[in-house]
Structure formats: structure tokens, C-alpha cells
Amino acid sequence: MAWNERIHNALQTRRDQHLWRQRQTLASAQGTRVFCDGKEFINFCSNDYLGLASTGTDELSAAALRWGTGSGASHLVCGHSQAHHDLEQALADYTGYPRALLFSTGYMANVGVISALAQRGDLILQDKLNHASLLDGAQLSRARMLRYRHTDVGHLNELLSEREGHAGETLIVSDSIFSMDGDLADVATLADVSRQHQALLMIDDAHGLGIIGPQGQGARAHFGLSTADLPVYIGTLGKAFGGYGAFVAGSDDLIDYLIQFARSYIYTTAMPPALADAMQGNLQRMKDDSLRSRLQARILQFRQGAQDSGLPLMPSLSPIQPLLIGSSDKALQLSSRLREAGLWVSAIRPPTVPQNEARLRVTLSAAHTAADVDLLLSVLSDCWQTES
């Protein structure tokens, strides 16, 4: 088959299955109010859970005057600045680990860490609903990967017991809060299982950092675990943190190892030092527990209203509140009706979620008002009654 024919057929299939993806171009800063196509929307699809994405502009401007706009090189050439070093230390202190290592994106952190740690002959066990970057990292490692049923620790134990005594090492990998379902893994039990089977545990806390734990310190603090219980910790700066980039936290040896062997760290330009500098301000703002209190109030308000209206809620207590629709076409239609009412809620469809599990992914922020959520619930209820 010619290349152009293959490409054309793949694109047509996406259109026919109501799976076509397209970008929307914002004409405003990220926030609960955004402008797109000349219209204002209340934004319910951002991962800016604490409303910090548009803060710190004065700090960023000052940092840009000092550091410029680019790092100029990879960390291991001449791109590693004092701003990067200071942010790494602050993140290590915040999450309670000896050291942290910055990556340019969360995807690069997950791919780089897994492919550096695991090797051919090793075994990687992943939750069925783990983020694509975690699955891709396992494939790049050339280790054997098995996927256990979503949050089913019993199934994980079965898979481990069946392969007891295999020649290589074992790595267990899970998200903390799952990006499309919004539920929270039992990280404490995963730590127990890892210890029992002498496996290494890695948790991607992209959607938990800033949301759970005292001062938003994340999954380790939330579950009361030691750094030995959770030795490989991934955090992102692009969600509750309100910035850009990611990091891995762990022991001195782990960080030194990744500096030597994580290809997505070694072979890419360092994040802009001005951004690393400015992120210190957001880190301090993120410690304010009143932000999480406001966020929890919006979550409880939405869930109660959705239950009262008979909306198809999923079992999530996080800022991610998906409504399970099923049909991709129907999810798109509902998303379109919400947009007509000035509400931006994304329709999430396969392959991001399993077949026949298309959904509206509502995400809430500490910056949303009670009136924002009331309006969303009112329009959702009207749309759902009409569709049903």
C-alpha cells in the first residue's frame, strides 16, 4: 500500500468512527474563563486544578530578564542553570525525597525513567488504565510488560505469583489518580505488594501532586509512606502546579543513575531557566491548603448535583469528574451543546479510553465559583434529559 493511501485511509477511518481529533486555539491565558473563536467560555476541561496557571507573571518577567528565554543546551552540556538546581532541591524538599531531577515534560519523564530502569529480561506490571507514556516507556525498555486489571491488587498478586523466580528484576508501575477515570490507586497496598515480591514501585503522581496530602505533597504523604516504600516518584509541573515540565524524585543513587542512563533527559534541551525560576513562586502558593479546601467544595457540589440529576457519574473524588456516555457520537453531541451554552467540556473518546466508554471529562478548579458549577449542572441536566 502506498504511503499516501495508508495515511488517507487512516484519517477517513477516524472521521467515520467519530474519533476525529482537532485543536482549539485559545486567544487568552489559561483560566476558568477563556476566549476561543471570538467567544468566552467557562472552562471545565483544564488540568489547572488550583488555578495557578495564570499566576506568577511578575516573577516570570523578572526571571526572564535575568535568565533570558532559552537554556541553550541539554542539562549535561551547558544548559543546567542555578535556577534548575534550586527548583530540583525545592521539589525534593517538598516531596520528602533526598533529590529530584527535572525533565522537560511528563511524557519524557515517564518514558525516560522506565526505559532506563528496566531491561530485556525484566518484568514490568502496569495498571490497565495507566497513562500512555508509562506504557510507551515499558515498550522502549524491551522488558516484558503485563497489565493487571484496573486497581485490582488481587490480579496483580496473581501475575506476580505466577512468575515468581523469573530471572530478571520486577517493576510495578501505576498512576496515583487516573487521568480519565479520576479514581485513586491504593498506593499503600501497592507498596506492600512490591515489598513482598521484592519489586520496585514507581508511581506517576501527575494528577495527585498538589491535590492530595498535607500541603498537596502528593501520594506518598497522603498514604503515610516512607521514601523506601515509594522509591520512584514522578511529579508534573503542568497540572495543579500551573506551569510546565516534570520531575522524578528518589534516592541519590536513583537520580545519579538517571542522569547517566535516561535518554529523554540526556538528549534534550533543558527547560527554560526563567520558567524553572518562576516555578518556585507557584510551589509556595501550592502549599496553601485553602486552595484544596475550595477545590473540594466544588467537587462535592458537582457530585451532589450530578447525583440529584441522575447524571452518569463515575466513582471519583478528585477534580476529574467524568460522565460516562458510551457512544463517541453522543459524547460529541453533548460536548457541542455545552459549547453552545458557553461551557467547555471535552468529549474523550477511544483510543484514549476503552471502546464504548466515551465520556465527558469534567475537570474542576479551585478558581471555579459555586455559580460556575451550578450553571454547568443546570445545562448538563437539561442536555441529559433531552438525550435520554
pLDDT at residue 222 tops 70? yes
Q: Which of 382, 388, 366, 211 is nearest to 305 (CA)?
A: 382
Q: Is 307 exposed, middle or buried (0-12, 13-18, 19+ CB in 10 A)?
A: exposed
pLDDT at residue 165 tops 90? no
DSSP annotation string for 308-335? HTT--B-S--SSEEEEEEE-HHHHHHHH
What residues make up the domain containing 119? 68-286
β-sheet bridge partners, residue 36: 26, 39
Q: Which of 72, 71, 107 is nearest to 87 (CA)?
A: 71
Residue that the C-alpha cell 524538599 belongs to: 93
pLDDT band at 1 (very low <50, low <70, confident <90, very high): low
- For the segment 17-47, what is each residue's pLDDT rounded down to a tens digit? 888 888 889 889 999 999 998 999 999 999 9
176-211 per-residue burial string, b: 16 or more CB within 10 A, e: under 16: bbbbbbbbbbebbebbebbeebebbbbbbbbbbbbb
- For the segment 101-130, what is each residue's pLDDT rounded down to a tens digit? 999 999 999 999 999 999 999 999 999 999
Q: Is 248 exposed, middle or buried (0-12, 13-18, 19+ CB in 10 A)?
A: buried
Arithmetic mean of pLDDT over the chain: 95
322 and 259 inside one domain: no
280 and 301 inside one domain: no
Percentage of the chain beyond pLDDT 70 is: 99
3-state DSSP call for residue 61? Answer: helix
241 and 117 inside one domain: yes
Domain end call among 286, 318, 337: 286
In a domain, 111, yes or no: yes
Cα–Cα dist 227/17, whole Å? 45
- Predicted local confidence at residue 166, as pLDDT: 80
260 and 296 inside one domain: no
In a domain, 16, yes or no: no
Close Cβ partners of 140 (under 8 Å, ≥ 6 residues apart): 111, 114, 115
pLDDT at residue 168 tops 70? yes
Q: By the 8 A CB rule, do 77 and 268 touch?
A: no
32 and 88 inside one domain: no
- For the segment 327-361, what is each residue's pLDDT rounded down to a tens digit? 999 999 999 999 999 999 999 999 999 999 999 99
279 and 296 inside one domain: no
Residue 156's CATH number: 3.40.640.10
- Predicted local confidence at residue 260, as pLDDT: 98
Estimate to the nearest angstrom the gap between the alpha carbon of 181 and the chain centroid.
Answer: 12
Q: Angle at the Cα of 273 (from 269 to 274), degrees rounded to 5?
A: 135
In the predicted model, what is the mean pLDDT of residues 144-165? 93
- Predicted local confidence at residue 388, as pLDDT: 61
Close Cβ partners of 331 (under 8 Å, ≥ 6 residues apart): 325, 347, 348, 349, 358, 359, 360
pLDDT at residue 94 tops 90? yes
Q: Which of 370, 368, 211 is nearest to 301 (CA)?
A: 370
186 and 77 inside one domain: yes
248 and 308 inside one domain: no
Domain end call among 268, 286, 304: 286
Domain end call among 286, 315, 335: 286
In a domain, 299, yes or no: yes
Q: Is the peptide bond before 351 cis (omega within 30 degrees of 0)?
A: yes
- For the segment 299-329, what is each residue's pLDDT rounded down to a tens digit? 999 999 999 999 999 999 999 999 999 999 9
Cα–Cα dist 388/384, whole Å? 6
Q: Which of 43, 20, 40 is nearest to 345 (CA)?
A: 43
Report CA dihedral (214, 320, 228, 170) to the nearest 10 degrees: 180
β-sheet bridge partners, residue 175: 204
Residue 349's CATH number: 3.90.1150.10
Lowest mean pLDDT: which of 22-26, 67-71, 163-167, 263-267?
Answer: 163-167
- Predicted local confidence at residue 117, as pLDDT: 98
306 and 236 inside one domain: no
Residue that the C-alpha cell 501532586 belongs to: 209
pLDDT at residue 387 tops 90? no
Q: How many structural domains is the chain composed of? A: 2
- For the segment 70-79, what is each residue's pLDDT rounded down to a tens digit? 999 999 999 9
Q: Which of 377, 331, 320 is nearest to 356 (CA)?
A: 331
- Predicted local confidence at residue 330, as pLDDT: 92
Q: Which of 155, 218, 217 is nearest to 187 (CA)?
A: 218
Cα–Cα dist 196/241, whole Å? 34
91 and 240 inside one domain: yes
Cα–Cα dist 270/76, whole Å? 9
318 and 281 inside one domain: no
Cα–Cα dist 85/102, whole Å? 9
97 and 237 inside one domain: yes
- Predicted local confidence at residue 386, as pLDDT: 80
In the predicted model, what is the mean pLDDT of residues 236-240? 97
- Predicted local confidence at residue 26, as pLDDT: 87
In a domain, 141, yes or no: yes
